[in-house]
Structure 1
Amino acid sequence: MPETLVPIDVAGRSIAEVAEAIAARRFPPVEQWHPSHCGSSDMRIARDGSWFHQGAPIGREALVRQFSRILRREPDGSFVLVTPGEKLSIEVELAPLVATSMVTEGAGRERRIAFGINSGDAVVLGPGHELRLQDGAPLVHVRSGLNAILARPVYYELAEVALAEDPAQPGVWSDGLFFPLQA
């Protein structure tokens, strides 16, 4: 089956263009689907964002993007792949998604930062898409309880921005909120 949603590439785009692409996105209504649990998917998402099925890596990025669209976090903190007819558990080591690219505009309190996500989606860091540290790992909220870990090069780029603005209090402003980069 061909991929129906073209991945959002943040590179070379303005934050306004990225925000427009985000607003145009429609996701399956996984929060409305409540089938009985059918078992395990035999899938795992590693800490680095790699997806595995029965221990073997899933190499098709388009397939991973399709699975990510039916991924849901349950109230107990577990993760499932869900359709209207079935629900399968999936093991997630830290976060199911990875922020793989970043674009920034402005400076200080006027700064806006957008992250490209390995699921083909993007987020603008700010209200509803907060950045936090968990066990030393930088995570950004993407949607419905799903977080993306910042890939190491993206985190280094973010840290460079933070240190350039205020080495005494490393953190970044984006969309009106301040996000510290230390615990």
Structure 2
Amino acid sequence: MPMEPLPDLATLSLPEIARLVEERRLPPVDQWQPAHCGDSEMRIARDGTWYHQGSPIGRPAMVRLFSTILRREPDGGHVLVTPVEKLSIEVEDAPFVAVEMKAEGKGRDARLAFRLNTGDLVTAGAANPLRFVEDDDGPRPYLHVRGGLEALVARSVYYELAERALAGGDPVPGVWSDGAFFPLEPAA
């Protein structure tokens, strides 16, 4: 069965994005509890590239398919899960990368939608918060995607967030989306 083409975020309104997110039916991986079967021999690099046995997976449709059965375990590990098997997968940082952002509105009325490297669309808000981590390489923003899975926000998208935060005029630099405020500085 062919997969739907990736949406062009620039041509969609935020209500259209919300509708597409609502229509997406993902497998109920949180309900599947098969015994652990082994290692998938797969790895997701920090830049979002998926590898199998050391070689990049060159078919985006395969990556999108695998991403739909990805789950974060209570111990923080990641697995690919089906009703009958569960295979470990190494994730160097976050399993997704937010590669594009679309913003509508200002201040408390703003909404920020992100397109992930897998084509998924996520609107930041209380259910999908943004968080910021400071490390030796500088700030690293993350967006909650689902079930404990996060997307590392690409550097270029982070610059867009920082520009909005500095222009926002809030006492603490941050961004609003879907009624929630996300300070750019990491929580103490």
Asked if Structure 1 and Structure 2 have the same fold, meaning a TM-score greater than 0.5 normalized by the shorter chain, the answer is yes
Structure 1: which 5+ residue stretches go unaligned? Answer: none
What is aligned with 2:79? Answer: 80
Between the aligned partners of 1:120 and 1:34, the Cα distance in structure 2 is: 27
Read off the aligned partner of 1:149 and give its amino acid letter.
L
What is aligned with 1:57? Answer: 56
What is aligned with 1:174? Answer: 177
- Counterpart mapping for 1:1-183 below 5 A: 2-3=2-3, 5-134=4-133, 135=135, 136-166=139-169, 169-183=172-186
SS at match of 2:161: helix
Read off the aligned partner of 1:52 and give its amino acid letter.
Y
Structure 2: which 5+ residue stretches go unaligned? Answer: none
1:90-117 superposed Cα distances (whole Å, 9 cap, x missing partner)? 0001100011111001111111110011
What fraction of aligned residue pairs are identical, expressed as a percent?
A: 60
Give the conservation status (yes or no) of the 8 Å contact 1:8–1:21: no
**Higher RCO (CA 8 Å, separation ≥ 6 residues):** 1
Q: CA offset at residue 153 of structure 1?
A: 1.0
Q: CA offset at residue 121 of structure 1?
A: 1.1
TM-score, normalised with respect to structure 1:
0.94
Tell me the number of residue pairs that the alignment of Structure 1 and Structure 2 aligns: 182
**RMSD in angstroms over aligned alpha carbons?**
1.5
Between the aligned partners of 1:132 and 1:117, the Cα distance in structure 2 is: 16
Read off the aligned partner of 1:60 and give its amino acid letter.
R
TM-score, normalised with respect to structure 2:
0.92
The structure 1 segments of at least 4 consecutive aligned residues displaced by more than 4 Å after TM superposition are none
